């Protein structure tokens, strides 16, 4: 497997994927200027296992929640794609069909469709989300999960290099949680996956894959949807959901994860299900108010930048089209009309 990972064809394909839509960026253009030399250098470093990941560039975004994004150097992103090209198909076969994040043919809108489908069939829902998910992911547990399906020592070495490069990147975002059997040294366990890495997105799915099978097989939950660290369980009996809730808390301790306990409460479907920026009802969906307000603020900022010449119309137009294409999956006709009217009137 490692020889295939280091092959020229795989590295060139990885470069093509990593540079898609970003060829105008300075770091991508610099790598492309001497593309063959850079890929050959990367290939040699991988083959003799002298490859060392570079330093992350970190910055905060408000989407609308504040998040720390960590961008790896472009050459490292090529390596991430080269690795995922090989290991994704291996794990994809083991993922349940109702895990929707960062998978071909899945995505946010299909997760919403599936949640609404279940909302029409069941009376109650248990909405859950994990506290500090990416900062909490334990490196030792993740590596054990990955090693169950990857038996190539050199591929595991590369995984270790990438994991170690992200160690501590999200340290300030993590509030220490002690689990049964922990001693004071548990605070020093390597943990955290940088938000922004392709590998982080993929490994986040791998990390909760055993939990997905626990829900489906051991809890026998027939109606379950997960998108990264947000997941929903449906049933016709509130008591069953309460029992599942208790078992979920226990099982997540094995992954050193905790739920937002106050939010994880069984509720009637008719009260609406908060999920992926929408409130889902059996017959319709509403965009969460904070999402609408956040886009209005963002669009006003873009409009001000456009008027001063800081950005071109193309960027503003792309932002509007992207937002419209997302929110049209809810009952948002009036909201879209109001926002676009304001944009047309120049705020």
State how far the Cα of 72 lies from the Cα of 56, in Å rounded to an integer.
5
pLDDT bin (cut points 50, 70, 90) of residue 319 is confident
SS3 state of residue 216: helix
pLDDT bin (cut points 50, 70, 90) of residue 163 is very high
| pTM, to two decimals | 0.87
pLDDT exceeds cutoff 60 at 347: no
Which residues is 232 bridged to in the sheet? Answer: 127, 225
The pLDDT score that the predictor gives to residue 288 is: 78
pLDDT digits (tens, 9 = 90+) for 97-150: 999 998 989 999 999 999 999 999 999 999 999 999 999 999 999 999 999 999
What percent of the chain lies above the pLDDT cut of 90? 64
pLDDT digits (tens, 9 = 90+) for 16-39: 999 988 877 888 899 999 999 999
Query: What would the two tokens of residue 99 be?
Result: 């895990």
- DSSP structure class, residue 138: B
State how far the Cα of 129 lies from the Cα of 207, in Å rounded to an integer.
15
The pLDDT score that the predictor gives to residue 305 is: 80
Which residues is 110 bridged to in the sheet? Answer: none
195-212 average pLDDT score: 94
pLDDT digits (tens, 9 = 90+) for 320-329: 788 777 777 7
DSSP letter string, 66-89: EEEEEEPPHHHHHHHHHHHHHHHH
CA dihedral 111, 112, 113, 118 (to 10 degrees): 90
- Other CB atoms within a 10 A radius of the CB of residue 190 amount to 15
The pLDDT score that the predictor gives to residue 26 is: 86
pLDDT digits (tens, 9 = 90+) for 258-284: 999 999 999 999 999 999 989 999 999
State how far the Cα of 131 lies from the Cα of 135, in Å rounded to an integer.
9
The pLDDT score that the predictor gives to residue 345 is: 64
DSSP letter string, 158-190: HHHHHHHHTTTTTGGG------TT--GGGGGS-
**First-residue to last-residue Cα distance in the chain:** 56
pLDDT bin (cut points 50, 70, 90) of residue 287 is confident
Q: Which residue is associated with the tokens 């998910």? A: 133
pLDDT digits (tens, 9 = 90+) for 288-316: 777 777 777 777 778 788 788 888 778 77
pLDDT exceeds cutoff 60 at 42: yes
State how far the Cα of 77 lies from the Cα of 3, in Å rounded to an integer.
19
DSSP letter string, 283-306: S-EEE-HHHHHHHHHHHHHHHHHH
Which residues is 144 bridged to in the sheet? Answer: none
pLDDT bin (cut points 50, 70, 90) of residue 343 is low
State how far the Cα of 37 lies from the Cα of 42, in Å rounded to an integer.
9
The pLDDT score that the predictor gives to residue 193 is: 93
Mean residue pLDDT of the chain comes to: 90
Q: 227 near 100, Cβ under 8 Å?
A: yes
Which residues is 69 bridged to in the sheet? Answer: 59
State how far the Cα of 39 lies from the Cα of 42, in Å rounded to an integer.
5
Burial 301-328, CB ≥16 within 10 A → b, else e: ebbeebeeeebeeeebeebbeebeebbe
Query: Which residues, 6 or more positions from 247, have their beta carbon under 8 angstroms from its beta carbon?
Result: 218, 219
Query: What would the two tokens of residue 324 be?
Result: 């419209």
């Amino acid at each position: 497997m490692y020889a295939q990972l280091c092959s020229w064809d795989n590295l060139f394909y990885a470069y093509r994927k990593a540079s898609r839509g970003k060829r105008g960026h300075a770091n991508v253009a610099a790598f492309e200027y001497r593309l063959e030399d850079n890929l050959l250098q990367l290939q040699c470093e991988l083959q003799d296992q002298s490859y060392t990941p570079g330093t992350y560039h970190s910055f905060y975004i408000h989407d609308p929640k504040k998040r720390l994004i960590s961008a790896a150097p472009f050459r490292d992103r090529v390596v991430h794609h080269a690795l995922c090209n090989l290991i994704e198909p291996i794990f994809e076969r083991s993922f349940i069909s109702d895990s929707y994040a960062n998978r071909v043919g899945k995505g946010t809108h299909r997760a919403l469709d599936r949640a609404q489908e279940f909302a029409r069939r069941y009376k109650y829902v248990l909405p859950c989300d994990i506290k500090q998910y990416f900062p909490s992911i334990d490196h030792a547990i993740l590596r054990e999960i990955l090693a169950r399906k990857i038996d190539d020592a050199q591929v595991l070495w590369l995984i270790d290099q990438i994991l170690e490069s992200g160690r501590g990147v999200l340290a300030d975002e993590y509030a220490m949680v002690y689990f049964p059997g922990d001693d004071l040294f548990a605070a020093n366990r390597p943990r955290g996956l940088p938000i922004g890495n392709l590998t982080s997105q993929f490994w986040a799915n791998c990390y909760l894959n055993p939990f997905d099978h626990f829900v489906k097989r051991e809890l026998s939950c027939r109606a379950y949807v997960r998108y990264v660290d947000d997941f929903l369980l449906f049933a016709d009996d509130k008591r069953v959901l309460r029992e599942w809730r208790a078992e979920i808390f226990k099982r997540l301790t094995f992954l050193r994860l905790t739920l937002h306990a106050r939010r994880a409460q069984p509720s009637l479907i008719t009260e609406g299900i908060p999920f992926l920026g929408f409130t889902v009802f059996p017959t319709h969906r509403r965009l969460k108010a904070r999402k609408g307000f956040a886009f209005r603020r963002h669009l006003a900022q873009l409009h001000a930048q456009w008027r001063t010449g800081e950005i071109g119309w193309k960027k503003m137009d792309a932002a509007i089209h992207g937002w419209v294409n997302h929110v049209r999956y809810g009952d948002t006709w009036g909201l879209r009309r109001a926002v676009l009217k304001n944009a047309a009137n120049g705020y």
